[in-house]
Structures are given as C-alpha cells and as structure tokens.
Amino acid sequence: MNARHVLVLPDRDAAEEVAEEVVDRFGLAEEPQLVRDALAGEDDAEDAQWLVVVEDPRQRLDTAALDGLAAEYEGWLEAP
C-alpha cells in the first residue's frame, strides 16, 4: 500500500521551501507535488493554502518529523 502524506502550508513560498527540505532531509527519490488549495467559498488568492503531497511507497517517513518540518513554516501535517 502506498502511503501519502499531506503537509498544509500558509503560502506558496513556504510550500516550495518545505518541498525542497523534505527531499533534502528524507532523501526522497522524487519531488513532492505542490497543490494550491483554495479555502471553501473563498475566491481571494490570499486565502489559499498550499499542500505539499509526499509519496511514501515504503511507508518509511517519520510523521512526527514531517509535522515538525511543516510547523517550522507555520503549517501542519494533515491527519490520514
């Protein structure tokens, strides 16, 4: 079973930095996917969150470490 982790970040800059950090810290083979997530009912780009989607096919990533990394950028790890 392929695990997927979703980190929620406040803006694109933070998401891009976290995506780079995830690769560096955890030695990922592929770049995480960045996804813009507009909040329900909000049209203003200022209210969009950014998601960093990390594939974890071997289920070897430490979720506490991922959450800690996201927290460094005022984000969090979405619960599965």
DSSP per-residue letters across 12-64: HHHHHHHHHHHHHHHT-SSPPEEEEEEPTT---GGGEEEEEEEEETT--S-HH
Each residue's pLDDT tens digit, 47-79: 689 999 999 988 899 999 999 999 999 999 998
Model confidence pLDDT, tens digit, residues 27-38: 998 899 999 987
Global confidence as pTM: 0.87
